[in-house]
Structure 1
């Protein structure tokens, strides 16, 4: 299967949208320019594979992280100037000489920390004039590269923060946001010559992890996996009521495995799904909106999550597996709910399908299939781990050779199985007359193998994301090289040598596509580093915290029994994410807003008695950043879908936003109910949480669509909303009558810490002054170490904190540098006022019963109004 641009067909408008958003709109006709845009991306991809491989360590030619980031950014800015025209009237069929000059200067400045690393390192803290000049040129040209590849908004945001760096002392600014300002030398040194700015965490993740995952997805797509997953979804769901729309949802989930771009998802699947949705009765606007809503959910789907999964591991300080675990339930709930929304839309429009499967049976079947798929995948990974351990135990040093031989045999068997049938037809017409699911499934089993390899390395072996993606990419290169020659051999056809040559060509095209897809993302990571650098240099994060708290303060206590202050703050963060996301890529938006606001949410939540895990806040920001791809008037995914459907882009965007309300609801829910993120939740409870949350989300979808069994009356929709809220938050009502916690005096700290079970946390209330002289009164969760030690030792080992007892009062005596307690913002000499322990009260789950009875009442009311023929369907 070809890349997204080829899938776009011959529609110039659609091709322009894809090129401008992802790969660059310049297509030189001269030989030199054409070869440059073929060779340079290929060299970038080869370089990324080289630094990810063990080979540099074998040959003793290793660059440090800062140098590899510099080369990575050098390639990105060079290609940004060459591949993206500077303005609308700039030539697209050639690369002007001046552009070449500027591009080479930009690449030289971006890679400065590579070619003069030792000199810069020796001058740390005392940069010379050359350092400062190159830093200034590099910063300007980096922002121009981002403008070309991503548009004006990201550059504008970076300029805003840079202005604050230089002019933050201006007397015209409100006193609360003023700071002393920075000299040009200090700012350039901080932004360009250290790892606090451009060459910081974000660019490190881009060069170390993200490029390889994007490359893996591009190669998988080049091999034909995108079309394979699409046809599987259509064969399984196309015969149902509104089947093409349901297939679009599932296909976008599969495409999310190999793409981190919602726009690429729209084009890859929408080229097929949108025309077929229109054919079965969906209006152009709704057909485009379904595809847009499905495609943004593709970015939510692990393992890639638009590169945010890897950034979270760095910013939150948890493992990649933990990030995937927190993301899986909200993503699955959102997808199943969207399938249900599509089904309700089909019912409201009176659509028919060749299958008359009852909607309840369909949803139960869908949930069952999802559960079985997860169990099978988990079982396969577990069994693979057992087999690998056994082989290592039996064969010792020869185990790797045995494993490679077994993988090769399994691959040969899968390709031989695929060769028994014809290759998949990639035309639009073929979607209307597909073979059975089993016939399609056997044609692409070998595509699933590298995905399982990736999951095995990440989940079972716990390898780093970069190393896991590297070996999975190597497996994809082997598949691209050999799948067609092997099929020809098994079918007894000739031309095997030519098919090997075609495989090499496919490899090159896939690597080039992956590299060109990374241009804008790498530039965005670099510019996001400017913003993060401004935050760390100026301390504006604390200013934002005070500003948000000031805005929310007036609303506190406005509504009884509700934490309006915290809700208002969350709403403010959501609005910032959406507004910035209208012009920033999802990943850059996540970096900016999480750097500014994540700590604010945690801090304000602690002051309000709500302990919000940092990963929950980061997921909140991520979800609302994605919503910006839908939100009018910018939503580029909506414009891409409208180009295919020939519908109105704004109407498509508004309709997609309406379909995506459930996605906007989830972040608020998992802030107040972290069970949805599977935080401190066991396997059995996780299944229960998923089922209950899924039922609640389906009820919410039915209420917002005003359709359950038949069109709902307003009071029925309200009843469904109430039931959904109670299922999502069963403890809310109980908290009004029976407090969740009861207090204990601080003097019981050490005895409670000693008696706590393994991997437990103590909920404590601390008071004291921060560095700004402000009084802090907040609650924190302090993890304790393994059992078997006294309370003081467990607190030190678990939370990195020591306390002292002064006349019965407990004070913070010492903090381990970088420990959990210090990261929570706790300071020396704060007093431990009290401890919170779970209160003895009825289980919150008892409120599920009245909620379900309310749903049953609505069901019975609507059942009376349901036509007999529908009731029998």
Structure 2
């Protein structure tokens, strides 16, 4: 992964020159514990499927567009087929352990291939019948020749896939059955949604076959989500689905009239649910930027980002921690997942932070907080910005611009937290001979060109899809003047990597679509809005605090995109109803959905960092929560100072931005007990008051906060603290 030398001395006791630390392998794709590693014909088969899947999206988005619902159905179906082939439902046999799939299980799976295949054949026959002029299919055929065998095969195959451990290069027959079921379900929906019967969804006249296909598709999505993202999102989705049928029996504001199985499932697999905003974004913007990220990885831009961060910040005190901030911000912006970013950059930065004196807990917490911040870093912002643009109708460029000051505040907070801790503990930076030469890396600054081209294209008015495609092509072209040239083989490898990387986020977005569908079809979101409206009658701050808690709770254990999509459906409408601007409301929800990755007790990014640092997971999550404290205050600043999101005059925006940044510095000094020297307890309390004054954003509070900051500075300078200035 990397070369991390230790200081050594020669026989005369003098330190010998050290080889510079060079990041390598940052771009390598992490292999999940339940990911199959094939060889032979299976490697070729699934590699070709992944390449075809990525290529299909590039062609459909840029050259030959197809009907929207059909495109999204194929998008989800392709991810399910790839996912069931690449991810196991149980776990693998470890070295020296007995395991394998018993004969009866294979026989039962083989038997289940018959109803799954029969359902698929019925889809083909139905298509021929509809093409021949039939107005609809006989209910008996839909129920007993399609629905019953499809549901039976799906349920039995899912259960079989849980039961047995297998070799890492083996493909279970049960997973083959699930692939056929995915094809049958998607095939039926394609037939019906391309006929006049599409208009009947959600009514008593809808063919029952749509409901059977939707039930099977929902089960497949839930199982795929469990395999790639864990149980948290699956449990939340199951609770929402249970609410559809239990809701009529619940008291108070949770009760609603109820929906039948047919009416609900005939509509949940449409643009009201699974095929709605989350899949709309994953099938366009997200898949495109995953391909862009894969091309960047193939050209080793990730290694360059980390090395550039070492050269720029490595010599500052606590150098590796500041490297983590810069590198994780750059990588997290294009990575799309906080935990994935921790794994890629943290494996290099966490050991180096420990080497210069940071405890394992602090090292893991810094990396987790910095990686999480990458999700709010414009212009790409992981993938949440694209979902926000889809949900709100606000142009993506406006969202990216509005995110600038909040992102600066977040990373300024982490930076000064790190710097003050390094000053308090007397840490030094890395030696000059330990880091790459900045001059040499500066000559390769052209590797930033694809991201610059992306930003320029967006602000020139190109669509997100066109700008992303141009940036992807630029990544390949730029590689031709770099040490890692992309030829045809490297481009195919990048497409294969993109197809594989896309599985998790597509499954998560489809699962989030199920939850969004429940919210839309049952009206539970409107009832939450009424609750927030009632709270706002007492206090808007109380309503905002309640919205924060719900957003964090919904986001715990979930990837950023799913966390925001669900919270935006439940919480954002309520905030808008109490008089908050849509952009402010959605940014409020988005921020808390993002920071749920470092919020105890379920903090995915912190847990991933703890695995690398070797420290306690819960302790690391508490420490990362403290380091990312600004992220819990900044969203409230959106409400009290809309200029934070660049809404207002430039003079007001400049004033609010500068004073808020100074407020974040004072907040960091309060937490770390250091400003221009050590702070006593009463001085920390004064600094906290000054920070809150500056963060609030009013003119009078800003003046009071500036006075407090100046008084603290003069006091420390008079007592000799001014000699210990903050090193940048």
TM-aligned CA deviation for residue 513 of structure 1: 2.2
Q: For structure 1, which runs of at least 5 residues remain unmatched after alignment?
A: 10-14, 57-61, 356-430, 488-498, 557-564, 607-611, 732-844
Equivalent residue number for residue 161 of structure 2: none
Partner Cα distance (1:458, 1:691) in 2? 27
Q: Deviation of residue 644 (structure 1)?
A: 2.0
Which secondary structure state, in structure 1, belongs to the residue aligned with residue 364 of structure 2? Answer: helix
Q: How does 1:163-202 map to 2 (within 5 A)?
A: 163-170=242-249, 173-192=250-269, 194-202=270-278
Using the TM superposition, give the Cα deviation of residue 104 of structure 1 relative to its aligned residue in structure 2, in angstroms. Answer: 2.5
| Match among 583, 590, 600 for residue 622 of structure 1 | 590
1:296 deviates by: 0.5
| Correspondence 1:148 to 2:227 | yes
Q: Deviations over 1:167-207 (max 9, x none)?
A: 3212xx11432211111110111111x31111111101111
Instruction: Decide whether aligned partners of structure 1 residues 178 and 290 sit closer, same or farther in structure 2, where only a CA change above 3 A counts.
Output: same
Q: Which of 24, 49, 68 is residue 58 of structure 2 equivalent to?
A: 49
Say what the alpha-carbon RMSD is for the aligned residues.
Answer: 2.6
Q: CA deviation at 1:287?
A: 0.9
How many residues align structurally?
Answer: 631
Q: Does 1:646 align with 2:618?
A: no
Q: Deviations over 1:192-243 (max 9, x none)?
A: 1x31111111101111111111211121122111111111111121111111
Q: Map 1:778-817 to 2 at 5 A.
A: none
How far 1:862 sits from its partner (Å)?
Answer: 2.3
Structure-to-structure mapping, 1:705-716, within 5 angstroms: 705-716=672-683
Structure 2 stretches lacking a partner, 5+ long: 3-22, 93-164
What is the match of residue 313 of structure 1? 389
Partner of 2:541: 567
Gap change, CA 1:615 and 1:107, over 3 Å in 2: farther
Secondary structure of the structure 2 residue equivalent to 1:447: helix
> Shift of residue 647 of structure 1?
2.0
* Alignment partner of 1:680 out of 622, 642, 648: 648
Matches of 1:149 and 1:354 in 2, distance apart? 38
Residues 290, 498 of structure 2: 8 Å contact kept: yes
1:851 Cα shift?
2.3
Q: SS at 2:322's partner residue?
A: helix
> Which residue among 493, 516, 532 is the counterpart of 1:532?
516
Q: Where in structure 2 are the equivalents of 1:426-505 lying within 5 Å?
A: 433-443=434-444, 445-459=445-459, 461-480=460-479, 482-483=480-481, 503-505=487-489
Task: State the alpha-carbon separation in 2 of the partners of residues 621 and 672 from structure 1.
Answer: 15
Q: Distance in 2 between matches of 1:152 and 1:110?
A: 24
**Equivalent of 1:585, from 559, 571, 587?**
559
Q: For 2:66 and 2:27, locate their aligned partners in 1 and report how far apart those are by CA, in whole Å.
A: 40
2:44 pairs with one of 35, 45, 49: 35
CA distance in 2, matches of 1:847, 1:312: 32
Whole-angstrom CA distance in 2 between matches of 1:254 and 1:547: 39
Match of 1:742 in 2: none
Write the deviation string for residues 22-51 of structure 1: whole angstroms up to 9, x where unpaired. Answer: xx7322445233223312221111111111
Is the Cα–Cα contact under 8 Å of residues 297 and 335 in structure 1 kept in the other structure? yes
Superposed counterparts of 1:90-489, under 5 Å: 90-91=165-166, 92-110=168-186, 112-119=188-195, 121=197, 124-125=200-201, 126-170=205-249, 173-192=250-269, 194-353=270-429, 433-443=434-444, 445-459=445-459, 461-480=460-479, 482-483=480-481
Q: Deviations over 1:689-742 (max 9, x none)?
A: 3222211111111112221122212221222222222222243xxxxxxxxxxx
Please state how far the C-alpha of 1:268 moved relative to its aligned partner. 2.1
Alignment of 1:721-740 (within 5 A): 721-731=688-698
Q: Is the 8 A contact 1:670 1:676 kept in 2?
A: yes
Check 1:155–1:46 CA distance in 2 against 1; reply closer, same or farther (3 A cut): same
Specify which of 845, 849, 854 is matched with residue 708 of structure 2.
Answer: 854
Contact 1:26 1:83 in 2 (8 A): yes
Structure 1 Cα separation of the partners of residues 83 and 45 of structure 2 = 13
Return the offset for 1:282. 0.7
Distance in 2 between the 1:867 and 1:856 partners? 14
- Is 2:419–2:726's contact at 8 Å kept on the other side of the alignment? no
> What SS class does the counterpart of residue 685 from structure 2 fall into?
helix
Contact 1:142 1:526 in 2 (8 A): yes
8 Å contact kept, 2:365–2:606: yes
Contact 1:5 1:19 in 2 (8 A): no
C-alpha change, 1:204 and 1:672, in structure 2 (3 Å) is same
Distance 2:441 2:478 in 1: 18
In 2, Cα distance between the equivalents of 1:176 and 1:253? 42
Separation in 2, partners of 1:120, 1:231: 57
Structure 2 CA distance, aligned partners of 1:868 and 1:478?
A: 50
Q: Is the 8 A contact 1:26 1:82 kept in 2?
A: no
CA 871–633 in structure 1, closer or farther in 2 if over 3 Å, else same: closer
* Distance in 1 of aligned mates of 2:392 and 2:725: 50
CA separation of 1:456/1:49 partners in 2, compared to 1, >3 Å: closer, same or farther? Answer: same
Aligned to 1:613: 581
**Which residue in the other structure is 1:69 paired with?**
72
Kept in 2: contact 1:77–1:110 (CA 8 A): no
Aligned mates of 1:93, 1:872 — CA distance in 2: 53
User: Does the C-alpha gap of structure 1 residues 292 and 582 become closer, same or farther in structure 2, counting only changes over 3 Å?
Assistant: same
SS at match of 2:224: helix
For the Cα contact (< 8 Å) 1:280–1:351, is it kept in 2? yes
Aligned counterparts of 1:65 and 1:678: Cα–Cα separation in 2: 34
Aligned 8 A contact 2:34 2:90 in 1? no
1:180 match: secondary structure: coil
TM-score (norm 1): 0.69
**Alpha-carbon distance between aligned partners in 1 of 2:429 and 2:218, rounded to the nearest angstrom:** 57
Q: Which has the higher strand share?
A: 1
Contact residue 189 and residue 210 of structure 2 kept, 8 A: no
C-alpha distance in structure 1 between counterparts of 2:642 and 2:652, whole Å? 13
Task: Give how far 1:867 is off.
Answer: 5.9
Structure 1 stretch displaced more, 863-872 or 196-205: 863-872
Instruction: Please give the alpha-carbon distance, in whole angstroms, between the structure 2 residues aligned to 1:162 and 1:127.
Output: 20
Retained in 2: the 8 A contact 1:220–1:258?
A: no
**1:603 aligns to 2:577 (yes or no):** yes
Give the Cα–Cα distance (whole angstroms) in 1 for the partners of residues 458 and 722 of structure 2: 52
Secondary structure of 2:374 counterpart: helix
Find the partner of 1:79 among 71, 82, 86: 82
What is the alpha-carbon distance in structure 2 between the residues aligned to residue 224 and residue 439 of structure 1? 16
CA offsets per residue over residues 604-632 of structure 1, 9 Å max, x none?
3x3xxxxx211111111111111121123
2:90 is paired with a residue whose SS is coil
CA distance in 2, matches of 1:515, 1:567: 44
Aligned pair partner of 2:627 in 640, 647, 659: 659
Q: Give the structure 1 partner of residue 504 of structure 2.
A: 520
Distance 2:656 2:535 in 1: 34
1:258 counterpart SS class: helix
CA deviation vs aligned residue, 1:781-836 (integer Å, no higher than 9, x gap): xxxxxxxxxxxxxxxxxxxxxxxxxxxxxxxxxxxxxxxxxxxxxxxxxxxxxxxx
Provide the C-alpha distance between the structure 1 equivalents of 2:24 and 2:172, rounded to a whole number of angstroms: 24
Q: 1:871/1:471 Cα in 2 relative to 1: closer, same or farther (>3 Å)?
A: closer
Deviation at 1:8, TM superposition (A): 9.4
C-alpha distance 726-633 of structure 1, shift in aligned 2 (>3 A): closer
